[in-house]
Structure 1
Amino acid sequence: MQNLPVELQLQIASFLDVETILSLRKTCTSLSQFTHARSLWLSLMSRMPHALPWPRSESDTATLSSLQLEHMIKTAVRVEQIWLLPRKDSFLVQDRYDSDDTVGNSIPRIRHLAFIFDQYLLALGSEGKINLWKISDVFAPFAAEVVVTYASSTWYPSAYHLNAVGSVLAIVLTHVELIAARVLTISLDALNSSESGSPRLVTQGEFSIFPPQVIRAIDADLELALLSNTASSFDVVNWRTKAQATVALRANDPGDLWNGITAMRICGPYILVFRMHTVEAYPLPPHITFGVEERSDILPQLTFRFPHTMTYRRVSLTRNTCAEDDEPEIYELSALANDLFHGIFHFHVKLTVHPLPSLSVSPLGVRPMAITSPQFISATLPVDFPPPLALPVPFGTVQDTRTFVSVWALGDHGRRGVWVARSRTNMSRSVVAFTNPRDVSNTVGEARIWSNDSLQANDDPERPRLIDGQVIHNIPLRDDITVCAVSETTGKIALGSWAGSITMI
């Protein structure tokens, strides 16, 4: 092989796996040299998108050296190998709060958990507490160092957002009397620098709230907050200019009166609204911000309605991506949601702005888990009572036990996710992990599957795959997990309990 041209050697080596290439490096000096070639690791990256936590474009890898590419690929392969394996060790990041009302308080102590660029763990508490931990390397013994902490008795954190370049983390706080909101920011560049002094949360703006509303989301780049409290409208507020606009929600169906908002996200010139029965896109009011260019065309409102049997009361969203080309202008993200009577659904959302505005939702996977078997239902009824109508079973899959799913989360890029569940036959809660090996670009034609008739289709070869979740950890039943987060790059999972403890597995 040493007599072959270097270009041919690299071509042959690009078909080898990572472990073989590392073994080849130890054979001799000449072979060791070309295994450090940047082009070799770029070829490997293009051949293994399933192992990487997110697809890499040329612009993403242009500044990475050969050593950086090698480290990233080796880490991704290692995390993929251990992601679905049982985890025995856990690390207590934060203990439960010691107070007299821990049991009686109806509000969970941890409201939000999130990994920030896989380097930090952010926790927003219901009692005005904010903590940001710097987490250790991927395979090093876990350690958590608090780098930012904040506590207030009158201002409670509600939402957060990382700006597009990943340099500023914004957190919005709501006054305890729901009369005002305050936006704090922290520079992540300052955290990573070697300069002395503790990084601090800096107040960037305040705005009043009337009538009282819930802050659903914020955007650090556009300096916008999205608020709602009814199923009929939502408000958009610019916290720097104080400009405000009210947007009326669509109500084409009588059931939309109970079609509450579960999540919101700004995608370019649109506001993406996730509701219990629909996904909708509303044009961003032009006078609210100068961050979105003026458009000569009038953007329409867009709506996608789930089958009438579906009700999603909470949804976990990934970071949204945007096509880099000028044409077309497309925004994409993944979502994980749970329907009480059907189970876990993983779907892909595609919002096209140009050339023709459109909104599509394509299913990536489903895990039926909340269906009570007909045998169990019949056994609980009197003998002379007529058998009940069977509930619609997604894709012909029947579960013989009822499972309750308490929390679920996707990673930032939608390749890996978890949920926490308990079945009737189990005295502990199970942490279930799964991967999404499917390329979302191949799901464009699957939107037709979201129909009532196709939910029970067994012979449709293009129906969403069954999510192959694996139990990787069991936790005591007394630990009521209310929030969780996933780091796709490191493979770490954070679990927050009702009493305020945070555990890393």
Structure 2
Amino acid sequence: MQNLPVELQLQIVSFLDVKTILSLRKTCTSLSQFTHDRSLWLDLIPRMSHILPRPLSESETATLSTLELEHIIKTAMHVEQVWLLPRKDSFLVKERCDSDDIENSIPRVRYLAFVSDHYLLSLGSEGKINLWKINDVFAPFAAEVFVTYASSTWYPCAYHLNATGSVLAIALTHVELVAARVLTISLDTGSSSELGPPILVTQGEFSIFPPQVIRAIDADLEFALLSNTALSFEVVNWRTKAQATIALRANDPGDLWNGITAMRICGPYILVFRMHTVEAYPLPSHISSGVEERSDILPQLTFRFPHTMTYRRVSLTKTTCIKDDESETYGLSALANDLFHGIFHFHVKLTVRALPSLSVSPLGVRPMAVASPQFIAAPLPEDLSPPLAPPVPFGIVQDTRTFVSAWALGDYGRRGIWVARSRTSMIRTVVAFTNPPDVINTANVDSERPRLINGQVVHDIPLRDDITVCAVSDTTGRMALASWAGSITIL
């Protein structure tokens, strides 16, 4: 082989799989050199797209070194292999609270999230912010304290990572609900670069009035979204102090309550998730300085779930945007739980151009309580899952007494988890699942027959640890669990 031209040798090596290439590296010096060629790993990226948490664009791969490309592929392979395996070892990041009045208090951790895959963020109900730096998946586990903040008068309530992943913004509200402020933290976006000690910087402050609650913020546009009542919500620019009140669509007469559960800015629209509906409202023109001006008037859009469904909390992925001269479309996935029906995975598509529209497509279901005729579960393709008992129609429920306390999707919708407890069991179980590539890309999904979500139990938790919040990292395969008493564990 050494007598062949270099180009031909590389062509031959490019047909090998990753495991064989890494084995070839150990044979001799000359062949080892080929396994470090950048073009070889660039060619492997599209071939390994089925295990990557998200597709890598040409502009992204152009900035990555050979070692970084190799590390991305090796990490994706490792996570794919171990994701659904039982996790015997756990890492306690934060101890439980020592308060004697835990049972009558609110949860000690309100939000838990993996940020940029290198950090774990915790927002506490006692005015505490903790940010840990997480090490590489191939190294012995460690969590290094990156930022710690505590206040008796300012409570964290929302967060957002800017588009470049370099700045984390956190919104806080005054304990008397008379004001809000936004703090920012500069993050290390490289794997080896060194920054100085992280500093919390106050970027803006504005007045609020009870019963306003900050539901979401946008670090790039410098917007805060506040829900007021079931009748309206507020949009505030914390830099200019401009604000606007937007009236919510009237509830259906059959609704007893249709409160807001989550909000997200998607281009010129504000996407509002409510218990029974998903709605899109145009951003007010006089405060949207960071959004391009439009000559046409955008309509309000609404999608209503079946009347039997009530989603009190949703876990959202990052927003994707497909935009050109003729079209503009935003998309994201959501994982939600209905107390009486089970876990639902659906995709939200918001089209701005050419004709504004809003659609919600069911991608997967996991029945856990009572029968529901809305969705029929379709089996996974044989090449995407291990042999399992054939799924049953959604109206025929097997695990009818399961209570789900927490659930989460990864940022890219590749992986998800939920924490469940059966009436007959003395433990809680962490259930993990993987979404096949054709489910993440909804162009090939049959919305009339969403698949049955086949979860695998990966960890057991004592019943006394009431898990209220969880988080998932698609890229690293880490899972984080927070209990009512404030302990945080990483699996």
Q: Supply the AA of the counterpart residue of 1:111.
A: R
Aligned to 1:478: 464
How far off is 1:92 after superposition? 0.7
How far off is 1:56 after superposition? 0.9
Answer yes or no: is 1:498 the counterpart of 2:484: yes
CA distance in structure 2 between the aligned counterparts of 1:79 and 1:346, rounded to whole angstroms:
22
CA distance in structure 1 between the aligned counterparts of 2:216 and 2:468, rounded to whole angstroms:
19
Aligned to 2:25: 25
CA distance in structure 1 between the aligned counterparts of 2:149 and 2:297, rounded to whole angstroms:
43
Q: SS of the residue aligned with 2:471?
A: strand
How far off is 1:414 after superposition? 0.7
Aligned to 1:224: 223
Asked if the contact 1:234–1:247 (Cα under 8 Å) also holds between the matched residues in 2, the reply is yes
Asked if the contact 2:211–2:229 (Cα under 8 Å) also holds between the matched residues in 1, the reply is no
Aligned to 1:61: 61
How far off is 1:33 after superposition? 2.8
Unpaired segments ≥5 residues, structure 2:
377-392
Aligned to 1:464: 450
Q: SS of the residue aligned with 1:313?
A: coil
Q: Aligned ranges for residues 77-226 of structure 1 at < 5 Å?
A: 77-105=77-105, 107-189=106-188, 194=194, 196=196, 198-226=197-225
Aligned to 2:253: 254
Q: Deviation string for 1:97-134 (max 9, x for gaps)?
A: 112322321x1000001111011111100010111111
Q: Aligned ranges for residues 66-465 of structure 1 at < 5 Å?
A: 66-105=66-105, 107-189=106-188, 194=194, 196=196, 198-251=197-250, 253-256=252-255, 258-323=257-322, 325-371=324-370, 392=373, 394-395=375-376, 396-397=393-394, 398-440=397-439, 443-444=442-443, 449=448, 463-465=449-451
CA distance in structure 1 between the aligned counterparts of 2:414 and 2:408, rounded to whole angstroms:
11
Q: Supply the AA of the counterpart residue of 2:236.
A: V
Unpaired segments ≥5 residues, structure 1:
372-389, 450-462
Q: SS of the residue aligned with 2:429?
A: strand
Asked if the contact 1:110–1:125 (Cα under 8 Å) also holds between the matched residues in 2, the reply is yes
Q: Supply the AA of the counterpart residue of 2:412.
A: H
Q: How many residues align?
A: 472
Q: Deviation string for 1:138-180 (max 9, x for gaps)?
A: 1211111212111111111100001111111111111111111
Q: SS of the residue aligned with 1:330?
A: strand
Asked if the contact 2:439–2:445 (Cα under 8 Å) also holds between the matched residues in 1, the reply is no
Quickly say closer, same or farther: Cα 1:370–1:155, change in 2 above 3 A: same
Aligned to 1:487: 473
CA distance in structure 1 between the aligned counterparts of 2:425 and 2:256, rounded to whole angstroms:
38
RMSD after superposition: 2.1
CA distance in structure 2 between the aligned counterparts of 1:419 and 1:493, rounded to whole angstroms:
10
Asked if the contact 2:214–2:227 (Cα under 8 Å) also holds between the matched residues in 1, the reply is yes
CA distance in structure 1 between the aligned counterparts of 2:49 and 2:255, rounded to whole angstroms:
40
How far off is 1:32 after superposition? 2.7
How far off is 1:344 after superposition? 0.8
Asked if the contact 1:363–1:443 (Cα under 8 Å) also holds between the matched residues in 2, the reply is no
CA distance in structure 1 between the aligned counterparts of 2:107 and 2:117, rounded to whole angstroms:
24
Poorly superposed stretches of 4+, deviation over 6 Å: none
Q: SS of the residue aligned with 2:312?
A: strand
CA distance in structure 2 between the aligned counterparts of 1:400 and 1:9, rounded to whole angstroms:
55
How far off is 1:420 after superposition? 0.3
How far off is 1:3 after superposition? 5.6
CA distance in structure 1 between the aligned counterparts of 2:109 and 2:80, rounded to whole angstroms:
29
* Residue range with higher mean Cα deviation, 78-87 or 180-189: 180-189
* Residue range with higher mean Cα deviation, 248-257 or 401-410: 248-257
* Residue range with higher mean Cα deviation, 287-296 or 26-35: 26-35
CA distance in structure 2 between the aligned counterparts of 1:184 and 1:54, rounded to whole angstroms:
29
Q: SS of the residue aligned with 2:254?
A: helix
